[in-house]
Structure 1
Amino acid sequence: MQHVQRSLPMAAAPAVILDEETMRGIELRQLRYFAILAQELHFRKAAELAFITQPALSQQISKLEEIVGVTLFQRDGRTVALTPAGVMLQQETAKMFDQLQRALRLTREAASEREFRLSLGMVEYTNLPFIPPALVRMQAAYPGLKVQRHEMHAGLQFDALARDVIDVGIGVPVSMPAGDSGIEARPVLSGPWVAVMRSDHPLASRQSIKVADLMDERLIFFDRPLVPHLYDILVNACKRAGFTPHFVYETQQAQVGVSMASEGAGLMLGAAYIFMALPAGMTMRPIADIEPFRLHLFTRTGEQDALLHEFVEMVAEEAYRTQVLLDAKY
């Protein structure tokens, strides 16, 4: 893992003066890539956030440095750090992107193109931790934004997108949409199945468990109508292990299941990202021999709505941050 060294002192930062010809050579995407790398100071992580390859990111940063005429990053193979000029450009581009965001919002409002509204298809039970920060960012940029949520699993979202009932779907699909379906799928997060339990439970002493370890356990799970195919995946995994799961309670609220598990009523099962913040005295263990949850964003192919694209990018960025936390834990 690369050691990250944060920004250099501001005092020595020289002014970066660009003439008109230089400005014409700079692309907005290069400044966006620069801003991401300046924040992360890690080429691989920045490339993932920018959704380009690491070599492509390096090439674009080098082009930007060539156009500007100064070195923006110090690289020695192990560390990445901003130069004084890079510090200055980071501060100024942050102001520029804030102003650009405001200009786009005011332009849309002045044109009265449409009411700012986002319609999301998702299962509220899944408690996706990256959705609230993405919505907060959107509402900061568009104070009049209205968000409508439709309770539906991925199996229903494709038709809802086709009929313009929702703008974005978020879920774990049974299968990917067909190439000619008019639906685009974008993977954003992968997380293991976990069993949530009290810290004094015998299984809590293990690093991970297997489906067979659940044979004699009382289990708490989500209600099947919420996401039928995921419910069936677990049931079938248990049957392959030689037993029928003993569900003592099926809930539509994840927090209810956690509360019951904390009282010793059973083990709560679900995706790791649902249980990012557990109460004291509780822990979770990954179930190693069952395929992980793979969350996707679904949009209409060729979608032209700039507001929607902006939201999708914010969701993808926040999901990446959640993925980093999950990867560090599992």
Structure 2
Amino acid sequence: MEDSRSPHMKALELRQLRYFAILARELHFGRAADVACVTQPALSQQIAKLEALVGMPLFTRDARGVTLTPAGDALRDGVEQVFGQLDLALRAARGAGKDQGFTLSIGLVEYTNLPFVPPALIRLQALYPDVAIVRREMNARRQWAALGADEIDVGFGVPVEQPGRDAQVRSEELLDSGWCLLIRRDHRFARRTRLHINELAAERLIVPARSVNEPLYDSVLARFASAGVQPNIVYETTQSQVGMTLVDQGLGSMLGAAYVFASVPESLVYCPVDGFDPLTVKAFYREGEHSSLVLDFVELAIEEARRVQAAASACAARRATNLSLL
């Protein structure tokens, strides 16, 4: 059968529209490239190809930043409709011949307040409106066994060690993070750009309880010991929001991963602390997984985590610049 599409449609690639949609949302080539999991030159190249197909610029690039042209505005609205129709078609295909809902069981430590999980779940529900989410509290080590026993479908965690070969678990790196100290704005460290573990010796520390993640807790104490520091831990909490409240009320300073402090009260700031092992948040799922629900969720989590990582890097750069001007 003869292809009746126009030459422009034949040359159009779906990834070009996806990259366009991401850039139209982020309005920043660096962040958009991180979210799309491509290099910035590759993103720019695909946008240029799309603009060539359209026959006019879709974005304006100047000293003030990136903005959509009128043509870009029109295309963005159309692309959103196209992806909306694609989502409907995919849902119809998945549900064809089936009369059942979907259940996704997730293993994670709720204390860690992973910022990419809520937006990934929201987007997943747009793809699977009838999905039911079940959350199970467990650290990375326990997730591996739970995946093998079909108790969970996806896990998110910070592994201190790696799963054994017999675990048959795949992992995807989502975001990297260092350690930070959450403090009040009137604290003596509030204008510092970085701290070292040795400087925490005199601090009254609020830390995540050992029951939250035993291997990680033990590794933190080991780093203190190797640095010759006896930490003054005044409170161990199983809820990050409780720890933030205690910092705000003056009980002490809270030690935690940077992503835990993605959203804090205006009265608090956090400062990176060197000397601890870096953290890598990973997603875990079964080898040979074929469920579209699971695979789609992992892909959405990766995309949202890259957006979080890009935003965190930009925020850290702005904070360093602002402090240098004080």
Q: TM-score range by the shorter chain?
A: 0.7 to 0.9
Q: 1:104 to 1:239 in 2, by over 3 A?
A: same
Counterpart for residue 145 of structure 1: 131
Aligned 1:254-265 pairs, distance under 5 A: 254-265=240-251
Return closer, same or farther for 1:57/1:180 CA change in 2, 3 Å cut-off. Answer: farther
Output the amino acid matched with 2:112: T
Q: Relative contact order: is structure 1 or structure 2 higher (C-alpha 8 Å, sep ≥ 6)?
A: 2
Instruction: Give the superposition deviation at 1:238.
Output: 1.2
SS in structure 2 at match of 1:150 = strand
- Partner amino acid for 1:163? A
Q: Does 1:281 align with 2:267?
A: yes
The answer to whether the 8 Å contact 2:60/2:69 transfers is no
In 2 relative to 1, CA 267–324 (structure 1 residues): closer, same or farther, beyond 3 Å?
same
Of 244, 247, 251 in structure 1, the residue corresponding to residue 233 of structure 2 is 247
Match of 1:213 among 199, 215, 226: 199
**Cross-structure match for 2:324:** none
Relative distance call for 1:324 and 1:58 in structure 2 (3 A) is: closer
RMSD: 2.7
**What secondary structure, in the 3-state scheme, does the structure 2 residue paired with 1:200 have?**
coil
Number of paired residues? 312
The residue type equivalent to 2:55 in the other structure is V
Where does residue 44 of structure 1 map in the other structure?
Answer: 30
- Counterpart of 1:154, as a letter, is A
Q: What are the superposed Cα offsets for residues 34-85 of structure 1, whole Å, 9 maximum, x if unpaired?
A: 322333344433332222333443444455455x362454577976555544
By how many angstroms is 1:177 displaced? 4.1
Alpha-carbon offset, residue 282 of structure 1: 2.3
Helix, strand or coil: the match of 1:129? Answer: coil
In 2, Cα distance between the equivalents of 1:150 and 1:272?
A: 23
- Aligned residue runs from structure 1 range 64-213, under 5 A: 64-65=50-51, 68=53, 70-73=55-58, 82-112=68-98, 114-177=100-163, 181-213=167-199
Counterpart in the other structure of 1:10: none
Q: Which runs of 5+ in 2 are unaligned?
A: 317-326
Taking every aligned residue pair, what percent have the same amino acid on both sides?
45
Q: Give the Cα–Cα distance (whole angstroms) in 1 for the partners of residues 91 and 105 of structure 2.
A: 19
CA distance in 2, matches of 1:206, 1:60: 41
Q: TM-score, normalised by structure 1?
A: 0.83
Aligned partner of residue 243 in structure 1, secondary structure: coil
**Residues 59, 72 of structure 2: 8 Å contact kept:** no
Task: Please say if residues 191 and 273 of structure 1, whose CA atoms lie closer than 8 Å, have aligned partners that are also in contact.
Answer: yes
Take 1:179 and 1:75, find their aligned partners in 2: how far apart are those partners?
A: 50
> What secondary structure is seen at the aligned counterpart in 1 of 2:155?
strand
- State how far apart, in whole Å, the 1-side matches of 2:57 and 2:104 are: 38
CA drift of 1:94 comes to: 1.0
Give the direction of change, closer, same or farther, for the CA distance of 1:89–1:187 in structure 2 (3 Å limit): same
- Offset, 1:281: 2.6
